Amino acid sequence: MDWQVFSAETLQRAEAEDRLVLLSVGTAWCHWCHVMDDETFGDADVAALIAEHFVAVKVDADARPDLAERYRRWAWPATAVLTPDAQPVVTLRGYRGPDVFGDLLREIVADKRAGQPLAREAPPPTSPPTASFPPIGLAAARDAGEALLDAEWDDEGGGWGTPQKYPRAEPILHALQRSRRTGDPLHAERALRALSLQRQLVDPVWGGIYQYSERGRWDRPHYEKIAIVQAGAMTAAAEGVRISEFGQREHLADIARYVREFLTDDRGAFLTSQDADAGDIPGDVYYAEDDAGRRALGMPRIDRTAYADRNGMLISAHLEAYGATGDPAHLAAALRAAEAMSTSHRGASGGWRHDAADDSVRYLADQAWMGTALLALYETTGEARWLASARETVQVLRHSLRTEQGGFRARSGPLATVGIFAEPRIPTIENAVAARFLIRFGRLTGESIFVLTGRIALRRVSTPDRIRSAGRNVGHVLLALEEALADPPRVVAIGEESALAELLADVRGASIHHLLIERRAPGEPYPPVEGAAVFVCADGACSPPISDRATLAVVLDGLAVAPKLPATMR
């Protein structure tokens, strides 16, 4: 296979030569991508057919957030056939064997020669104009998203969705917030049940959590270990520690141990993934071994690229783990990664590069996730430099990625100039993450314009059609909607950071959704304090200055009303 890189020039060449485009989107860790490369694209007849009639393009989805977002609903490998002018013919989900795949390509080639219509699927809809916003508010959008998640709940197997069981953090986190908001213990019970079940996917030897399990059960894992999955599992487990323990402290420690030992480079930046298989040794055989047995067989490949979005996720996850447990190793790992990324991935014109080498484009996913991490760093450490860096990221969102309709493009600059790639994408999930970041930034700084900007972006992607198409990923949208609709409490800390350490540790360890932690110098509007103290503000009023942990515990308990849980889960 003579694979080409995805570029505007490659697409222009296909159009100039009147050749079909074959686009293969996968990842380094994807088992079935490797199988399709070996068995299908490695088949002599298929390779010859492609060489004669197609321009073949290979894309690493981890390296290209814009294309990953476009094709992720087909999962990996996703295989797209496009016309010479880059209009969709057909998009395939998952593995296709050489015989079936070859027959499909021959049909398409024959139709092209005969001048027959090629399209086997409807073209994607264009981005709706502002006037098509639904006549519903954010609360109604939240109701629609919750109904979708309720329909996805699998009461028999536990967790959201079948037949594959993914350790998704967002439905768990949202269910806990929903239980507290509505007073219905059902949602908290579901969340903690899912948390408990997904512990079966944790590697008992090295730690870390596998990507998913098959056949509607939690004990048949696919053995890939992906940074995104580790980050989500850490975040959900940290909230589990805050609420009920319920075995989550060990779960959290096992995942963090794996990330720091296997998915961290010498600088402290977080890496992307580890394969399921070690060469020809399948994962179920390899991971059945103990540590010595595994190392004797060799190491499954680790993608050692550090991407900004993945690092933002894992920095935030480590800070959540630090807040829940007080373990300084989590904070140290987050700070090392943040320092490493600030050195290698800060763009010359502001914002964040996806990888260290490419400064030509800004991806929405990188700005949204790194911005989220920067705010968490500021709230955790009190260091103003992290807030200043978050402000730079906000400006990149506003000036390089924002559309006239209010949402955010997947990337700065056009992806290409032909076919379906000419129109900017307004991705749902990444806009939801960016909206949460902007809303939180605006509330922390008191700049309501950013809260409004975030809400507008969120409304842009909270239409009924968008919510339905998000599927199980709707949890990201729901978390953003909860953030937008909340009236969050705020802790204002005044004094030296060292003197505030115990008070703020108690604050971070409390399960209070959307809580803001702000640093202030002594003076208006808060009265002067002796030494160090915190003010807890909620429902339009602030407490007197609190300088002792016992008093603070009483106040926090009034805010952190835990959801009602069955006795077996307390």
DSSP state of 400: I
Q: How many CB atoms within 10 Å of residue 282?
A: 13
Q: Which residue did the predictor score with more confidence, 132 or 399?
A: 399
Question: Given pLDDT bands bounded at 50, 70 and 90, which one contains residue 311?
Answer: very high
Domain ranges of the chain: 8-114, 138-485, 490-569
pLDDT of 135-194, one tens digit each? 468 999 999 999 999 999 999 999 999 899 999 999 999 999 999 999 999 999 999 999
Task: Measure the CA dihedral 296/298/299/303, to 10°.
Answer: 170
pLDDT at residue 131, rounded to an integer: 43
Cβ contact 401:408 at 8 Å: yes
**Which element (helix H / strand E) includes 20?**
strand 20-26
Calpha distance 107→89 (Å, rounded): 12
pLDDT of 185-200, one tens digit each? 999 999 999 999 999 9
* Sequence-distant (≥ 6) Cβ neighbours of residue 213 within 8 angstroms: 164, 165, 200, 201, 219, 220, 221, 222
Calpha distance 364→433 (Å, rounded): 9
Cβ contact 319:380 at 8 Å: yes
pLDDT at residue 561, rounded to an integer: 58
Average pLDDT over the chain reads 92
Q: Is pLDDT of 415 > 90? A: no
**Residue of 4, 12, 15, 6 whose CA lies nearest to 84:** 15
DSSP state of 63: T
pLDDT at residue 124, rounded to an integer: 56
The answer, yes or no, to whether the previous bond of 525 is cis (omega within 30 of 0) is yes
Side chain identity at 506, as an amino acid letter? D
Residue in this structure with the two tokens 């294309």, named with its chain if needed: 67
Question: Given pLDDT bands bounded at 50, 70 and 90, which one contains residue 312?
Answer: very high
Calpha distance 46→37 (Å, rounded): 11
Question: Given pLDDT bands bounded at 50, 70 and 90, which one contains residue 566?
Answer: low
Calpha distance 18→34 (Å, rounded): 29
Cα of 343 vs its chain's centroid, Å: 23
Question: Given pLDDT bands bounded at 50, 70 and 90, which one contains residue 129?
Answer: very low
pLDDT at residue 562, rounded to an integer: 55
280: three-class secondary structure by DSSP? coil
pLDDT of 64-78, one tens digit each? 999 999 999 999 999
pLDDT of 476-525, one tens digit each? 999 999 999 999 999 999 999 899 999 999 999 999 999 999 998 877 77
Whole-model pTM? 0.94
**Which element (helix H / strand E) includes 198?**
helix 185-198
pLDDT at residue 549, rounded to an integer: 95
Q: Is pLDDT of 443 > 50? A: yes
pLDDT at residue 569, rounded to an integer: 47
Residue in this structure with the two tokens 């580890």, named with its chain if needed: 274
pLDDT at residue 359, rounded to an integer: 86
Calpha distance 325→238 (Å, rounded): 8
Calpha distance 141→156 (Å, rounded): 28
- The strand ranges marked E within 374-508 are 490-494
Q: Is pLDDT of 126 > 80? A: no
CATH 3.40.30.10 fits 8-114, yes or no: yes
- Which CATH code for domain 138-485? 1.50.10.10
Q: How many CB atoms within 10 Å of residue 253?
A: 19
523: three-class secondary structure by DSSP? strand
Calpha distance 450→437 (Å, rounded): 9
N- to C-terminal Cα distance for the chain? 57
pLDDT of 212-257, one tens digit each? 999 999 999 999 999 999 999 999 999 999 987 667 899 999 999 9
Share of the chain above pLDDT 90, in %: 82
